[in-house]
């Protein structure tokens, strides 16, 4: 029985499997490339390491979703894999959309709120000089901050069926609340040890504003999921 919005055929299955494999490869490349960052050693010494960043947590969930999707392509009779994929999808897709939306918006208009100052030896010491920002290669940037959202959206709209109304309404609220509370508690916990947050826009704001940011991001994820599910053909 086909489980996606389109009629399953041999060529359709090839496109589906190819999409999952390419997405998995690109995101795996992004994750594996973290060790090449100039700040990698410094980040690893901090509490939470790279997993302080919502980007990395979202990347891992998206990567796992694509891995399960690829396994389901080769083992279509295992309904447990399809169920696991759709469960992960409810977390991964809105999270990836929020991460991409916030990251690329801030990177374009206010990069100092999303990128840390360059802590390398060439950073100017003059107080009158604004230090350069830590940037990553474009290829890696796209793998981390664009590929998860694009691949999950393509997969959802082309290969998956929409979520039932009650599941989309109440299940999404529960999943979003758990994910939002988890990250808020985790990043606050890590910052107690590190003295700074992974993102400058959190470091530069007091606790009450950070709570509003966590709530706003969670609300954006929830609304994004509802909109995408509604727009699903």
Instruction: Report the 10 Å Cβ neighbour count for 230.
Output: 10
Q: How far apart are CA 224 and CA 218, in angstroms?
A: 10
Asked if 107 and 73 count as a contact pair (C-beta separation under 8 A), the reply is: no
Burial of 20 (0-12, 13-18, 19+ CB in 10 A): buried
pLDDT of residue 127: 41
Q: How far apart are CA 154 and CA 59, in angstroms?
A: 16
Could you read off the pLDDT of 71-82 as tens digits, one per residue? 999 999 999 999
At residue 6, does pLDDT exceed 50? no
Lowest mean pLDDT among 16-20, 29-33, 65-69, 122-126: 122-126
Could you read off the pLDDT of 86-98 as tens digits, one per residue? 999 999 999 999 9
pLDDT of residue 11: 80
End-to-end CA separation in angstroms for the chain: 19
Q: How far apart are CA 188 and CA 80, in angstroms?
A: 35
The larger pLDDT score, comparing residue 21 to residue 5, is at 21
Mean pLDDT of 20-38: 95
At residue 99, does pLDDT exceed 70? yes
Q: State the virtual CA torsion across 219, 224, 226, 227 in degrees, nearest 10.
A: 140
pLDDT of residue 131: 61
Share of the chain above pLDDT 90, in %: 80
pLDDT of residue 132: 81
Q: How far apart are CA 4 and CA 26, in angstroms?
A: 23
Sign of the CA dihedral 130, 131, 137, 142? Answer: negative
pLDDT of residue 125: 42
pLDDT of residue 215: 96
Could you read off the pLDDT of 104-152 as tens digits, one per residue? 999 999 999 999 887 654 444 444 455 688 889 999 999 999 999 999 9
């Amino acid at each position: 029985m086909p489980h996606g919005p389109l009629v399953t055929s041999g060529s359709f299955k090839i496109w589906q499997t190819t999409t999952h494999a390419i997405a998995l490869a690109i995101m795996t490349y992004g994750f594996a490339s973290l060790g090449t960052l100039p700040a990698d050693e410094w980040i690893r010494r901090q509490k939470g390491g790279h997993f302080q960043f919502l980007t990395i947590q979202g990347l891992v969930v998206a990567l796992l979703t694509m891995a399960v999707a690829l396994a389901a392509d080769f083992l279509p009779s295992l309904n447990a894999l399809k169920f696991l994929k759709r469960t992960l999808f409810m977390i991964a897709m809105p999270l990836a959309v929020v991460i991409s939306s916030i990251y690329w918006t801030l990177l374009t208009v206010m990069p100092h709120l999303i990128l840390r100052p360059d802590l390398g030896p060439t950073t100017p010491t003059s107080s009158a000089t604004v230090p350069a920002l830590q940037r990553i290669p474009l290829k890696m940037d796209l793998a981390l901050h664009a590929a998860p959202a694009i691949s999950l959206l393509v997969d959802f709209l082309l290969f998956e069926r929409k979520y039932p109304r009650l599941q989309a309404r109440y299940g999404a609220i529960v999943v979003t609340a758990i994910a939002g509370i988890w990250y808020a508690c985790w990043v606050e916990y890590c910052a107690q040890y590190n003295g700074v947050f992974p993102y400058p826009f959190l470091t530069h704001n007091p606790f009450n504003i950070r709570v509003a940011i966590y709530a706003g991001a969670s609300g954006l994820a929830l609304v994004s999921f509802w909109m995408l599910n509604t727009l699903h053909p």
